[in-house]
Amino acid sequence: MRGAYLKLFAICLVSAPAVVQAGYVQLPGLEVPSSAAADRDSVVRIFSQSYNAYRSVAFGHDEVAPVSQKPLDPRNGWGATIVDAMSTMYIMNLTDFFEEALNFTQTIDFTESKTSGTVSIFESTIRYLGGLISAYELSGKQHSFLIDKAKQLADRLSLGWSRGNTIPFGFVDFSTNQPIIQTSNIAEAGTLTLEWSRLSEYTGNDTYRKLAEGSVLKIASNVTYLYPGLPGQGIDPATGNPVGGYVTWGGGSDSYFEYLIKYAQLSNTNNNVFADSWLTAVDSSIKTLVKTSTIGNHVYLADFDDQRLIRHVGSHLACFYAGNWLLGGKLTNNDTIVNLALQLNDACWNTYAGDATKIGPEVFAYISSDGNFTGDSNPSDDQIAFYQEHGYYITDAVYVQRPEVLESNFYAWRVTGDPVYLQRAQSAVASFQTFLSTPTGFTGIYDVNNPQTEKIDETESFWFAEVLKYLYLTFDDPSHISLDDYVFNTEAHPLLAPKAESTYGSGQLIPSTTNKFVLRPGPLPAVSPLSLGLNLNLGLL
Ligand SMILES: *[C@@H]1O[C@H](CO)[C@@H](O)[C@H](O)[C@H]1NC(C)=O
Ligand SMILES: *[C@@H]1O[C@H](CO)[C@@H](O)[C@H](O)[C@H]1NC(C)=O
Ligand SMILES: *[C@@H]1O[C@H](CO)[C@@H](O)[C@H](O)[C@H]1NC(C)=O
Ligand SMILES: *[C@@H]1O[C@H](CO)[C@@H](O)[C@H](O)[C@H]1NC(C)=O
Ligand SMILES: *[C@@H]1O[C@H](CO)[C@@H](O)[C@H](O)[C@H]1NC(C)=O
Ligand SMILES: *[C@@H]1O[C@H](CO)[C@@H](O)[C@H](O)[C@H]1NC(C)=O
């Protein structure tokens, strides 16, 4: 996600950090110790090796399969790794890679899919639109073709709204120019505002912003269906109505919540609904979802399902919540939220610290004084033994190069300046070098608790966009891509932020009018699987 330091420095001067401002996010005057330079260099080496592994066999395709040495095209074949990696290249000053990527980007034709697959509005927005717009800003707004390409793609994606609907359908068939008529979720429908509003600014066409905002406002207007501020995961674009009531900060819902506060920061909009909805979601979550494990007192956000059952589960995806609560807690000057966020962050890191590889699993679970219901079977004897030792147990042991735990760790470092977060990032780098490296690049693993684990044959584009960027910036001069100057999209593409407001929101939470459901704590008898099947592991960012 970024080019030369010199140019970047000029950008930073233009948007001077908002020091002595009530709403500043970063600890003022924070510096990294001189030893961090070596850690930063290690991350650049991992990036270069991973990217060269992609370049040598898969350049122009979406991803590389680094074990079998083949190209993969899960993102419509437009070169997802290149576009997703550009902002990181710029930030790492990898100018040759960046130049090459600029050259390639000019040749992408976003008007048709290069694969038979339909096109995801959400995935294309966060990776392609986010990557292009961020590269445009970081490189000094000189390469206007980056915006032309983003516009070319967005004009096609806007077919997702072509049935008079306010919530976009999740997928568009570019060969028929029709949306795919099916249920969506609040993450897919609610994670577009940052990118689409920026595109409106740079193209002068306000339609993009209106489409993205309209979708979020519709979701937020349905908040009273469950707890205020906590809409269920499923949503029907045809009607705008909720589908089921599964509430989670994890996949399928996650970045809807994430963007509420980030959009308030990016836009400084006068419309308080965004910040108020975020604060209400956090407030309701504190009242209903914050739980503590019986071993280790680890603090996590549980889910609750369609049957109002609390599920004591956690996931790598959901762990973005710690960084997001840190950001929002600072922007709204709320120490209660900041302090809880630091506890959530510790618990997420604990899911790395307890595993044999010191890398965290995809899905895990807890036992709390409030119960142990996970929606699944009771823990096995092995899981209970693991829980007794570590205060969580693993229910899906893969690591697919996700960023969220290290993303939150990055926020914790920039907000508090506590060196423990640098040590955690160092630990992760060492584990990645040991367990994720292939003869050419870096990849995922099937079992984080087994040092002899098999490798997954796919290098995700968000390894470049997110994991390596957050690690690099953790070790870099904190004034570089400061959280007071940039807002990161959910794919870690930084977008220029305006000077912060003194606070965000109206000061009033959104009231509950139909809060008629009473949560039932576990332990409980086994229930049948979700009627709507929405609690899928959707693999969202
Ligand atoms: C960035 O890279 C260029 C050329 O590769 C080099 O001249 C310059 O000194 C580098 N800047 C920084 C801040 O490392
Ligand atoms: C980018 O394209 C220009 C013009 O075709 C060429 O001169 C340059 O070598 C290319 N740069 C890279 C890094 O591929
Ligand atoms: C703005 O963008 C929308 C969505 O692609 C398009 O339908 C509309 O024609 C554009 N308006 C102008 C004035 O170009
Ligand atoms: C959802 O919101 C729409 C309007 O935005 C409203 O018509 C509908 O009744 C709401 N549904 C529920 C269940 O709240
Ligand atoms: C901070 O947020 C919590 C949770 O919503 C709330 O209870 C508290 O009143 C807020 N504190 C301030 C100072 O706004
Ligand atoms: C979880 O709850 C079930 C049902 O009440 C109970 O039988 C089981 O022993 C509990 N397991 C643990 C590890 O607490």
Q: How does the average pLDDT of the chain come out, rounded? A: 91
Q: pLDDT per residue over 360-407, tens digit each?
A: 999 999 999 999 999 988 999 999 999 999 999 999 999 999 999 999
Query: How far apart are the CA of 523 and the centre of ligand 6, in A?
Result: 6
Preceding peptide of 523 cis, ω within 30°: yes
Query: What is the residue range of 227's domain?
Result: 2-515
Protein residue whose Cα sits closest to atom 8 of ligand 6: 378
What is the number of the ligand closest to the CA of 341? 5
Q: What share of the chain is helix, strand, coil (3-state, %, to 5)?
A: 45, 10, 45
Query: How far apart are the CA of 224 and the centre of ligand 4, in A?
Result: 9
Query: How far apart are the CA of 205 and the centre of ligand 3, in A?
Result: 6
Q: Is 346 a catalytic residue?
A: no
139 close to 7: Cβ distance less than 8 angstroms = yes
The verdict on residue 533 lying in a domain is no
Query: What pLDDT sits at residue 511?
Result: 81
Tell me if 5 CB under 6 Å of ligand 1: yes
Whether 296 shows a pLDDT value over 60: the answer reads: yes
Protein residue whose Cα sits closest to atom 13 of ligand 3: 205
Whether 513 shows a pLDDT value over 80: the answer reads: no
The verdict on residue 538 lying in a domain is no
The verdict on residue 373 lying in a domain is yes
Whether 473 shows a pLDDT value over 60: the answer reads: yes
Total tally of structural domains belonging to the chain: 1
Q: pLDDT per residue over 31-76, tens digit each?
A: 999 999 999 999 999 999 999 999 999 999 999 999 999 999 999 9
- The angle subtended at Cα 64 by Cα 395 and Cα 1, nearest 5°, is 85
Whether 306 shows a pLDDT value over 80: the answer reads: yes
- Which parts are annotated binding residues for Ca(2+)? 490
Tell me if 205 CB under 6 Å of ligand 3: yes
Alpha carbon distance 19, 214 (integer Å): 33
Query: How far apart are the CA of 536 and the centre of ligand 6, in A?
Result: 24
CATH number of the CATH domain containing 306: 1.50.10.10
- Please pick, among 39, 62, 84, 123, the residue that the annotation labels catalytic: 123
CA nearest to 131, candidates 482, 375, 489? 489
The verdict on residue 430 lying in a domain is yes
The verdict on residue 541 lying in a domain is no
Q: pLDDT per residue over 409-428, tens digit each?
A: 999 999 999 999 999 999 99
Which of the listed residues 165, 218, 219, 222 should we mutate to test ligand 4's pocket, taking the one with most ligand atoms within 8 A of CB?
Answer: 222
The verdict on residue 535 lying in a domain is no
- What is the edge-to-edge ordering of all strands in the sheet holding 119-120? 119-120, 171-173, 178-179
Tell me if 480 CB under 6 Å of ligand 1: no
Whether 24 shows a pLDDT value over 60: the answer reads: yes
Percentage of residues in the chain having pLDDT higher than 90: 86
Q: Is 404 a catalytic residue?
A: yes
Query: What pLDDT sits at residue 536?
Result: 32
Query: How far apart are the CA of 139 and the centre of ligand 1, in A?
Result: 14
Tell me if 145 CB under 6 Å of ligand 4: no
The verdict on residue 62 lying in a domain is yes
Number of Cβ within 10 Å of residue 238's Cβ equals: 16
pLDDT bin (cut points 50, 70, 90) of residue 510 is: confident
145 close to 151: Cβ distance less than 8 angstroms = no
Query: What pLDDT sits at residue 6?
Result: 26
CA distances from 214 to 2, 190, 355 (A): 31, 9, 43
Q: Which atom of ligand 4 is nearest to the CA of 224?
A: 14
Which of the listed residues 186, 224, 241 should we mutate to test ligand 4's pocket, taking the one with most ligand atoms within 8 A of CB?
Answer: 241
pLDDT bin (cut points 50, 70, 90) of residue 228 is: confident
- Please pick, among 84, 254, 305, 407, the residue that the annotation labels catalytic: 254
Protein residue whose Cα sits closest to atom 12 of ligand 3: 205
The verdict on residue 333 lying in a domain is yes
Whether 531 shows a pLDDT value over 90: the answer reads: no
Q: pLDDT per residue over 153-190, tens digit each?
A: 999 999 999 999 999 999 999 999 999 999 999 999 99
Query: What pLDDT sits at residue 517?
Result: 53
Query: What pLDDT sits at residue 57?
Result: 97
